[in-house]
Amino acid sequence: MLIDFDSNEHEPIKWLKVMADYECGLWDYEGCGFDLEDLGAPQGLIERFNSWLLWQYQELDRPEDFDREAFTLEGRHLAEAIKEVVGPDVEVVYYDEVKNVNRPVEAPQILERIE
């Protein structure tokens, strides 16, 4: 069972979203960011995840060189690896950059459930 370390009640986490945004990539249902370290992820996964988060800045710094499809595919693979870490009791969803790139801010996000 995973614990929400920011909660005074220490309720189990039931839902996580993988989405690179605001120097974070792992979000609970309330929109609070998480570190993979808090979930007991292996160091190799943490390093891959952090590299993926840094990759997003290429979109801002050099958008012409940003490979959105490759970025999205790596994010999906990371979401699958995170699902393995958290197990079947936690729903993991993934924010697909390709599907959401031109959507209006007020439109609902397209999220993919990771099985």
The whole-model pTM stands at 0.84
d(CA 62, CA 48): 21
Residue 98, pLDDT > 50, answer yes
The first and second tokens of residue 49, run together, are 């995840």
Mean pLDDT of 64-72: 91
Structure-model confidence comparison of residues 27 and 76, the more confident one: 76
Q: How long, in residues, is the chain?
A: 115
Q: Enumerate the domain spans of the chain.
A: 15-114
Give the CA angle between residues 52, 28, 14 to the nearest 5°.
115
List of E strands, the chain? 15-21, 24-28, 91-95, 111-114
pLDDT of residue 65: 86
Structure-model confidence comparison of residues 107 and 84, the more confident one: 84
